[in-house]
Chain A
């Protein structure tokens, strides 16, 4: 937990995870990939989820972001229980409260950099925010590439566009899935600085899944998973 946040009044949790269990049916019988995981993240906090491959990190991130329904247990984002919402309801919550950064960037290949950044706003019907999007692209150093399509950008540049997109709707929560996993060292450093810099500037809560111990170390807390169970929290 952030010491500065703790020194002031304890912030209300923006993300609450309670007894989260996820089971998939397989030919060999039910397979539990997440087993009774509970934690909270206060507003403005940063949390790293680490663990070996197959430990359930991505499943946990997906459930936290409302990308899937849990077998049991619950997730609340800004007090709203995701399990009570249908897919469209969860989409609304994501659009209003959540930003995403993916390992493989996930830009829409058919949209320019600027258009990619604008998508979350356009989905909620907001108009005339091109200047905000350009300002964010400027912030990530890509204002000059606003009209370029993803295929015309390098991996590092694509991830910076993805960052601008993640922050355009001023999310309360930013989920990052191995954000530097596909980048070289120099680009990884740039992107990391941008993530934490923007996080500070905008007071966003950060939840990131990573294999990178250095990246995890920059977070307030680290949650360690193994075989679907929480084994450690520091």
Chain B
């Protein structure tokens, strides 16, 4: 038989059922749309990063150090040549003066004091434009745009930083290369370095990040320059970033985001392909007679298979093309959803490569899944044309295994392609199999339960509706899978967010600190203590802080370790400025893991026994008894690890990597951190206000604000993920609709028969209503169970906290999914109830 015959017969055979086939093809539309949208958007983003590469750093080279630079650092910086611009970044409290007698308000911000012509490439996006240039000598500040909105401040108004008043000269919208999300917790405030004088903002102990930006003459090989000076930079504990590195870092981060969104979209496509297979199975059941007749007329099993394979391929191609077109449209929404996380503005353009890729994946996956029911076509006996009850020949079909393996390879291959990491790819494929397997298992269990349900006392409509879920040829498992996956994804997101927030709230649980004051100078401790007591928020914890650097580790100089290419110690642990404390006891956020806690020493000049945080000890590859040499502001102090501690970092208390015993560091220059509890927002605001008024250099971290901010960040991140997860739920709805449409003929036959036996329209509608309501309920319940399981697993193994169980999520999810199921059922079953009963005779009579 010719290929032309196969195509012609496929087209002719599909003619009367094109609506059903269209519905079936619809299952893959959304999945392909998701892939094309994410892929195309990702490509645009990468192109944007390439075209703005230098603007992402604003310079050719950025060199930075956290804390006070080493004495030789300046000489190294100057030796690099080129034009320089400096930045000092630190936390501070910004005060918004109250108007008309209203009290002042304050907010923790990150002050970035700039000098020189940075950014050398590109410009900050401000309103009005060019506000960066106006920072100059005048007391101008440019505030993060959100601050202006939040505090009702306009350009031209005054704000206070430290002891000095500044004039707001503009609103900061974007710094190329930085995403707005990072500034949510601590909004950015730009000022000129000259304007920093007399503000009293930077005192001893203030954590200042110093950055130097370089612009080199055109043609300078910056990578070579950096390579030549790498050792000198490391010796001075200076970090650096070139344009290529920044481009790479941003690209990698965005690739990860893209892969994550694409994989979420892929779940929708996978589910759609399962839906196609299921609908085709029902469709092909009705084609037995056609196949048998074709076989009787001389068609081979292969030809018959070819006819329906052509239909399957057309389904995949049609659905994927429509999906691709939809994806191109949806792509326009992604930049809006992700705006706060993107380091650049993205121009939307169609990436044809991504469109082709989405269509290819859609067609391949649909065909692979379609092959599962299609295989049976080869085995339909021509005898079936004579007797409906003829069994198909042969036992199990080994091709099913090949196709199963093909699907596994395709899914894993796609995930590896997308993530560029075979472990992640395997993990995704395994996770998908486990998740769907678990959901299918749960669905089957629930179906088994409905079968055993004793509904004898329930009305007939109820019993019939529920019974439809477990009758032969039911597709309850598929439909629960289809709706349940989307529900599970969305609920997991919601529950995870709730667990994380709950964990944060636990930080400030009854009696625990929720306000942290830092940069407190030696001579301010008593005053601050009094003030807090006066305000009714007494100090709950207090720690002195002494800054120091690690000089040698087990007798080897840190510089030598940094230079050693074979060293696997993370360089940040060696370069950083340590902020250590001293005390004679453990706090309630610490647990001794090993060694001996030594409260105090009498001989400050001997080897000092210190306690090291367990994670840091692992990073530094040190254990009990190992020696560490610290440079405490010019004075070398020999120490040995006497104990290891586990620290609960999440608690809002002064926590430390290294704790010294009492009796050593007392004479060293130090500052303090204090913690207290305000309990309510009004009191918290008042206390912060009072502290900032009396001690302008002190910064306050307010736990309530942290929680609010993180909630907002989660919310924004969740929005994008939820958007992708919605594709899965929507696909579930399409699969549900497709399954109902493909089972419509059987449904009509049953309904017409019941009509003939005397069922009223109300009873028929009731049966359908009950069936879809229970289906929705089961989907929400199984999806919910899976989400709860996933949330417990994440909470226990990833976040290490108690899982949260907000029942409101279920209270919303259950009726919503039930309603979706009901509406879909009602739409797909439209007109079925009103089918005239006479049809029952027409099937048999004249």
Contacts and interface: CB of A to CB of B under 8 A. Distances in A.
B467 A120 contact: no
B385 to A, nearest CB: 16
Interface stretch (A90-98, A198-206, A216-224): A90-98
Given A110-B471, A111-B467, 7 more contacts: A56-B846, A67-B836, A103-B844, A106-B749, A106-B756, A123-B754, A177-B841
A92 B758 contact: yes
B842 interface: yes
Given A68-B836, A109-B473, A123-B754, A88 B842 contact: no
Interface in A106-124: 106, 108-111, 115, 119-120, 122-124
Given A88-B761, A178-B845, A110 B840 contact: no
6 contacts: A55-B846, A87-B755, A87-B761, A109-B471, A109-B473, A127-B456
- Residue in A103, A115, A123 whose Cβ sees the most chain B Cβ within 10 Å: A123
Contacts of A119: 754, 757
A188 to B, nearest CB: 15
> Which 6 A-B pairs give the minimum distances between C-beta atoms?
A95-B758, A58-B845, A110-B471, A103-B844, A122-B460, A68-B838
Contacts of B474: 110
Contacts of B460: 122-123, 125
Contact of B844 (A111, A149, A181): A181
Nearest to B457: A127
Contacts, number: 106
B244 to A, nearest CB: 66
Interface string B198-241: 00000000000000000000000000000000000000000000
A100 interface: yes
A96 B758 CA distance: 8
Contacts of A149: 472
B758 A120 contact: yes
A65 B760 CA distance: 15
Contacts of B762: 88
A115 B757 CA distance: 13
A62 interface: yes
A53 interface: yes
Given A68-B838, A102-B840, A102-B841, A123 B846 contact: no
A67 B756 contact: yes
Contacts of B467: 110-111, 115
For the side of the interface on A, what is the size category? 35 or more
B840 to A, nearest CB: 6
B756 A100 contact: yes
A125 B460 CA distance: 7
For the side of the interface on B, what is the size category? 35 or more
B841 A94 contact: no
Given A62-B838, A91-B758, A92-B758, A110 B473 contact: yes
A61 B841 CA distance: 9
A98 B755 CA distance: 12
A124 B846 contact: no
A104 interface: yes
Given A67-B838, A181-B844, A110 B757 contact: no
A2 B762 CA distance: 40
Given A67-B836, A149-B472, A61 B760 contact: no
A88 B472 CA distance: 29
A122 to B, nearest CB: 4
A103 B845 contact: yes
A135 to B, nearest CB: 19
Contacts of A94: 756-758
A100 to B, nearest CB: 6
A165 to B, nearest CB: 8
Interface in B459-489: 459-460, 463-464, 467-468, 471-474
Nearest to B836: A68
Contacts of A91: 755, 758-761
A91 to B, nearest CB: 5
Nearest to B763: A123
Interface in B706-762: 746, 749-750, 753-762
A20 to B, nearest CB: 14
Nearest to A86: B761
B760 A88 contact: yes
A151 interface: yes
A93 to B, nearest CB: 8
B837 interface: yes
A110 B841 contact: no
Nearest to B755: A91
Contacts of A125: 459-460
A58 B840 contact: no
Contact of B846 (A54, A100, A108): A54
A57 interface: yes
A178 B758 CA distance: 21
A133 to B, nearest CB: 14
A68 B837 CA distance: 7
A103 to B, nearest CB: 4
Nearest to B844: A103
Given A67-B837, A108-B753, A110-B467, A61 B845 contact: yes
A209 interface: yes
B414 to A, nearest CB: 38
Given A68-B838, A109-B473, A119-B757, A57 B846 contact: yes
A107 B342 CA distance: 62
Interface string A34-77: 00000000000000000001111110011001011000000000
- Residue in B463, B756, B836 whose Cβ sees the most chain A Cβ within 10 Å: B756
Contact of B845 (A65, A68, A109, A177): A177
Contacts of A106: 749, 753, 756, 840
Given A53-B846, A58-B846, A110 B758 contact: no
A109 B757 contact: no
A62 B759 contact: no
B843 interface: yes
A209 B844 CA distance: 11
Contacts of B755: 87, 91
Nearest to A120: B757
A110 B468 contact: yes
A109 B760 CA distance: 20
A99 B757 CA distance: 7
Contacts of A209: 845
Contacts of A181: 844
Contacts of A55: 846
A176 to B, nearest CB: 11
A61 B845 CA distance: 10
A124 B762 CA distance: 12
B389 to A, nearest CB: 9
A67 B750 contact: no
A65 B464 CA distance: 25
A130 to B, nearest CB: 10
Contacts of A61: 841, 845
Contacts of B754: 108, 119, 123
Contacts of A92: 758, 760
Contact of B759 (A103, A123, A178): A123
B604 to A, nearest CB: 87
B742 to A, nearest CB: 16
Contacts of B471: 109-111
Contacts of B840: 67, 102, 106
B753 to A, nearest CB: 5
A104 B842 CA distance: 11
Interface in A177-213: 177-178, 181, 209
B12 to A, nearest CB: 23
A72 to B, nearest CB: 17
Contacts of A111: 467, 471
Contacts of B760: 88, 91-92, 123
Contacts of B846: 53-58
Given A91-B758, A110-B471, A62 B750 contact: no
Given A53-B846, A110-B472, A110-B750, A67 B841 contact: yes
B830 to A, nearest CB: 17
